[in-house]
Amino acid sequence: MKCQVCGCMDSKVIDSRPTDDGNSIRRRRECTGCGRRFTTYEKVELSPLFVVKRDGRREPFDSQKIKNGILHASNQLPISMQQIDEIVARVEQKAYATIDGEVATEKIGDLVMEELKQLNDVAYVRFAAVYRKFTDLETFMQELQKLVNENTNLSKKE
């Protein structure tokens, strides 16, 4: 690892530990040339994942699109950035778990909706309205009624 201070190409690892999310390794290094310390992160290089769109097109997976959709759906709701980042990480992990390197947009949307349903009903309905392309009030009301019924059934079980 090249030292940013003196340009020396040799360093030694002083400390190594996993990051909080467990997806990378944090390493403290010391330059053998100038003695300065610096931190590096090592992360597994993932195979490319492609998203299959509804019209059959394929494009590279972009977790930022998921985050943007959740941010839009959770606007002005009591949902923290940490909660959003955790949802994105779980959805991304499940998407990369596909064997063939491709995942349908429908699957990604379903995963996000599952997460939002557990977190906040309003964010769930907002996301579902865009994702499922509600075009009329009747379809929207059907989704709301389904959510109300599920919540009622959960309340009865507790």
Domain shared by 36 and 91, yes or no: no
Distance CA 46, CA 41 (A): 15
pTM as predicted? 0.65
On the question of pLDDT at 33 being above 70, the answer is: yes
Range of the domain at 29: 11-43
Domain shared by 54 and 122, yes or no: yes
Best CA proximity match to 22, nearest among 71, 96, 90, 83: 90
Q: Is 5 within a domain?
A: no
Q: Is 1 within a domain?
A: no
Average pLDDT, the chain: 89
User: Given this model, what pLDDT does residue 156 score?
Assistant: 65
Long-range contacts of range 51-57, CB-CB < 8 Å, 24 or more positions apart?
Answer: 51/102, 51/103, 51/104, 51/105, 51/108, 52/102, 52/103, 52/104, 52/105, 53/105, 54/105, 54/106
Domain shared by 66 and 133, yes or no: yes
Q: Using one digit for the tens of pLDDT, what is the confidence trace for 54-110? A: 899 999 999 999 999 999 999 999 999 999 999 999 999 899 888 788 999 999 999
Q: Is 158 within a domain?
A: no
Q: Is 6 within a domain?
A: no
Domain shared by 91 and 35, yes or no: no
State how many domains the chain has: 2
Domain shared by 35 and 89, yes or no: no
